[in-house]
Structure 1
Amino acid sequence: MNDLSLSILPEAAGDAQAIERLHERTFGPGRFVLSAYRIREHVDHLLDVSFTARIGTLLVGSVRQLPILIGETKALMLGPLTVEPPFRDRGIGRQLMERALKDAKEKGHAIVLLVGDEAYYSRVGFKPVPKGRVIMPGPVDAARVLVYELVEGAFEGVSGTVVPDWSKARG
């Protein structure tokens, strides 16, 4: 695939249905029991730091970020990140993450948390959260809780339960 054929664009409100269908295909119905989805039930993702990947007009990937609190500290939760199976292993997920992290930093965010595979996410700089520092709602493998500091040292001393940022909750 030619890099020029791929566009990483800010998510628009009109993308919601296509992204939901992508999530259905790639994650299936089991996605709703995951710990991160419990947080997503209450707070919408932020369109200004969420992105789509397109080849022409075809949506082939998406990444979302939503506002959370870790204890009393504001942060973002990255996810879900997904790419259509036929387009995987082409760097699309990485490009989506890099754009999401870059724009989050530019907009003044300092910390991004996610639940995922360290081998994959460490390629862009995510690191495991020290055991016991962050408590996710519901069952989660603590080794899969990863953090990315958009501002050096921002995660130092941060700990607590992850909850939606209720100041951004749906009305």
Structure 2
Amino acid sequence: MTAFASKATFSAAVPFAAIVAETPSHVAAREALLDAAMGPGRTRKSSEAIRTGRLPAEGLAFSALAPDGTLVGTVRLWNIAAGTRNGGSVEALLLGPLAIAPDRQGTGLGGLMMRHAIAEAARLGHGAIVLVGDPDYYVRFGFSAAQTGALAMPGPFEPHRLLALELSALALDAVAGLITATGRFALDTVASPPVVAKAA
């Protein structure tokens, strides 16, 4: 199993308070941030078919807040079956979307949020994280397409952008098939209480 640290270098030029567990009060600001950072096409992505109507994985939805309480970053992880192995589904997480407010991009906040999310997923005992994204960006966090060649997303996707990170050895060994949602439906439960992670 790989060890992960939740701290990362962060530019002191941009005020930043903390990464906290997402709460219902963040929803409107999160949706506005996603629209600003990713544009209207974000809802047509194949990952959205997995997230729609579901709750994020327990304890794995995070908001970055500026000192005045403004939401400036968001990242969430979702319970999935990463295909099958020997006839049984393989539990994993789907990461996304990761979004940073336009005026905070390039400051290191995205990296800080990624490392925090990975560390928390490992701490909670998850075996692997899958995402669809830019390989040049996510390779720094250990993601690659080495274990995803036989996996598929629902709907159109670019295979070279389907990446994974194993948090425990061989978690995705010999997996194949369609990635499907396994998480709780949105009406099943309420959000978890906040957990704060201070920036370095």
TM superposition score normalised by structure 1: 0.92
Q: Structure 1 residues 155, 107: CA separation in 2 closer, same or farther (over 3 Å shift)? A: same
Give me the CA root mean square deviation. Answer: 1.8
Match of 1:107 in 2: 124
Counterpart among 23, 36, 42 of residue 12 in structure 1: 23
Counterpart among 160, 163, 171 of residue 154 in structure 1: 171
1:96-126 Cα distance to aligned partner (Å, 9 max, x none): 0111111111111111000000000111111
Question: Partners in 2 of 1:130 and 1:76 — Cα distance?
Answer: 14
Q: Equivalences for 1:50-69 in 2 at 5 Å?
A: 50-56=61-67, 57-69=69-81
Match of 1:34 in 2: 45
Structure 2: gaps (5+ residues): 1-10, 84-88, 188-200
Q: Which structure shows the bigger proportion of residues in helix conformation?
A: 1
* Higher relative contact order (CA closer than 8 Å, sequence separation 6+): 2
Question: Partners in 1 of 2:146 and 2:54 — Cα distance?
Answer: 23
Percent identity, please.
33
**Contact conserved, 2:148 with 2:164, CA < 8 A, in 1?**
no
Question: Partners in 2 of 1:5 and 1:84 — Cα distance?
Answer: 12
Higher gyration radius (CA): 2
Matched residue count: 170
Using the TM superposition, give the Cα deviation of residue 152 of structure 1 relative to its aligned residue in structure 2, in angstroms.
2.1
Using the TM superposition, give the Cα deviation of residue 47 of structure 1 relative to its aligned residue in structure 2, in angstroms.
5.1
**Contact conserved, 2:74 with 2:100, CA < 8 A, in 1?**
yes
4+ residue segments displaced more than 3 Å = 3-6, 129-132
Match of 2:152 in 1: 135
Question: Partners in 2 of 1:129 and 1:15 — Cα distance?
Answer: 35
